[in-house]
Amino acid sequence: GLLGASIALVWFSQRQGIPTYQVADLAAAVTPIGLGFGRIGNFINGELYGRATDVDWCMVFPTGGPACRHPSQLYEAGLEGLFLFTLVWIISKTAPPSGTLFWTFIAGYGVCRMIVEFFREPDAHLGFILASFSMGQLLSFPMIIVGVFMLALGYQRRSLMQAKS
């Protein structure tokens, strides 16, 4: 989904003559809202539940067997929805370099997903891919690395441009 959305974003921005990072930053500002509501929908539907646990707030899901499980969809709604939205919103108030909101979202989503995957039941057809890491964690790691690298690059470019002026 993220790759397809990114391709569509680049295509749209170029077709409309709008700077790509301007569109990407706008998308990054609103995407967490959709992610948060999507995860609440997952919770209501009883899908994408967490691993079996004995924490006080565990829940039994209709398709999750008799085990009490983490409501990982709510963890994701809080992290990918509320936390990421708040983070991007706060950064937007600091006049960041172009692309900062987008790359903050990419790195932040990777971090949030990496955390939640420790509580989420791995996809049945995939299980754990590498040691105790799920496919979601393996896909999140490059997002974190690329996001942080691009953020550093953006701020470095701005510093160099300010030094030249």
The answer, as to whether pTM is greater than 0.85, is yes
Q: What is the pLDDT of residues 69-87, one digit of tens each?
A: 999 999 999 999 999 999 9
Q: What is the pLDDT of residues 19-42, one digit of tens each?
A: 999 999 999 999 999 999 999 999
Sign of CA dihedral 153, 155, 156, 162: positive
The percent of the chain in helix, strand and coil, each rounded to the nearest 5, is 65, 5, 30
Q: Which two tokens stand for residue 38?
A: 């999507």
What Å distances lie between residue 10 and 15, 68, 70, 158, CA to CA? 8, 43, 37, 22
Among all chains, which residue has been given the structure tokens 């996809």?
123
What Å distances lie between residue 132 and 123, 135, 137, CA to CA? 13, 10, 10
Q: What is the pLDDT of residues 137-154, one digit of tens each?
A: 999 999 999 999 999 999
Mean pLDDT of the chain: 91
Task: Judge residue 67's burial from the number of C-beta atoms within 10 Å of its C-beta, 0-12 exposed, 13-18 middle, 19 or more buried.
Answer: middle
